Structure 1
Amino acid sequence: MNALTGEALEAARAEAQRGFRALKARMPELEPDAVDLILGDARSHYAWKDAPVPRSMLEAIYDIAAQGPTSMNTCPARFVFVTSAAGKERLAKALKPANLPKMMGAPVTAIIAHDLEFWTHLPKLFPHEDRRPMFEGKQAHIEATAFRNGTLQGAYFMIAARALGLDVGAMSGFDNAVVDAEFFAGSPLKSNFLCNLGYADESALFQKLPRFAFDEVCSFA
């Protein structure tokens, strides 16, 4: 671990604070259309145009998503981008029949997974102090932390993809055990959910489904 200390730490904190204040001064909030693009009017898609998604865009999406917060900066999410015919055939073994055409037609299907050995990387990701003893030998805590924060990172990834102009369609209709055996055998990685990415064929859309109103699901304490 090589955490900053003393004057170097104070300088780094001051620079971070200046940068945040400058950002909020430039853009205190997103324009309504930007909010609609990533959440408000965004849709889940399951039909795709025949348009490739280059590696450079996947890298850009990851770079944005990686900045999202996780507890103690654990960053447990791992991403496998299934793009080849051979990769799709392997993934197809795990899917329910109704989801097969959705995945096979997508230029990219991301397997959103999490690493159960994330905590071994904490000296790099959280260098302020050694937090590995909080996890070592505590399997239930490891699994809960990896799943929770990996899911968060998967959501950041979807929002980042939409922000950069891609469309997404998350899927959970598959057998996680089959995916883990096919893609992660002998590793500490576990699959969470799948996410198709590409440029959507909007002609397959139907109306947006209802959502709960604020007062139906929100309260104050």
Structure 2
Amino acid sequence: MTSTASLADVLHLPQDVQDLLFREARTANSFSSEPVSDEQLQAIYDLVKWAPTSMNTQPLRALVIRSAEGRQRLLPHMSEGNRAKTATAPVTVVLAADTDFHENLPKTFPHKPEAKDSFAEESRREQFAKLNALLQVGYFIVGVRAAGLAAGPMTGFDNAGIDREFFSRNKWKSLVVINIGKPGENPWFGRLPRLDYEEVVQTL
């Protein structure tokens, strides 16, 4: 089996960048009080928006929660194990899929504006939106790491409750809640194993 160190040389990115984005990146469970600025969040989005989605639909939407009021509305919908760290993170972002993404297709897919008509069926549109927004969630996490910040993505929350609380006036559907900031005291759980290449990949 080829070693990780020699495989790193095959990739175009320098190894320290590979480590920052993947090998040494961890899910943070505590955060320092150092703030996360709006400029940092915009820089993250302006990087990850270039990653691909089907037909350039870009269905991901983000609700940034900073205020005490917003946090008080969010916390009751988080699972018990996720509540404390969400209460103390500098900023929390609810990432959602906009199931009305097709309204933007004339702008995001201008060479085929009639493609909007192919999403008339709501169930198909919602499935498509969630799939592509989840792709963007992955890009977003890597973007947070590229900003030198730690991401704490969570799916332990009441989706329906968050949607009622925050998205009753639009067609957004919550997918992942992410705490963002600099790591705090004892931020990491033990590193869990990853599957090897041979366990995951088949070649025909």
- If the length of structure 1 is used for normalisation, what is the TM-score? 0.84
Q: CA deviation at 1:65?
A: 1.2
Q: Which residue of 2 aligns with 1:101?
A: 84
Matched, 1:35 2:18: yes
Task: Name stretches of at least 5 consecutive residues in structure 1 with no aligned partner.
Answer: 1-27
Which string of whole-angstrom CA distances, capped at 9 and with x for unpartnered residues, describes residues 139-177 of structure 1? 222111100111111111110110111110100110001
**What is the CA–CA distance in structure 2 between the aligned matches of 1:102 and 1:93, rounded to whole Å?**
13
Q: 1:134, 1:209 → 2: CA distance?
A: 43
Q: Which of 147, 154, 178 is the aligned partner of 1:164? A: 147
Q: Does 1:198 align with 2:174?
A: no
Structure 2 gaps, min length 5: 1-10
Letter in 2 for 1:212: L
Counterpart CA distance in 1 for 2:154 and 2:78 is: 9
Separation in 1, partners of 2:122, 2:29: 36
Q: Which residue of the other structure, out of 43, 48, 57, is the alignment partner of 1:60? A: 43
Equivalent residue, structure 2, for 1:133: 117
Match of 1:148 among 102, 121, 131: 131
> C-alpha displacement at 1:202, in angstroms?
5.6
What RMSD, in angstroms, separates the aligned Cα atoms of the two structures? Answer: 1.2
- Secondary structure of 1:203's partner? coil
Code of the aligned partner of 1:134: S
Instruction: Count residues in correspondence.
Output: 193
- Corresponding residue SS for 2:77: coil
Q: Where has structure 1 moved over 2 Å in runs of 4 or more?
A: none
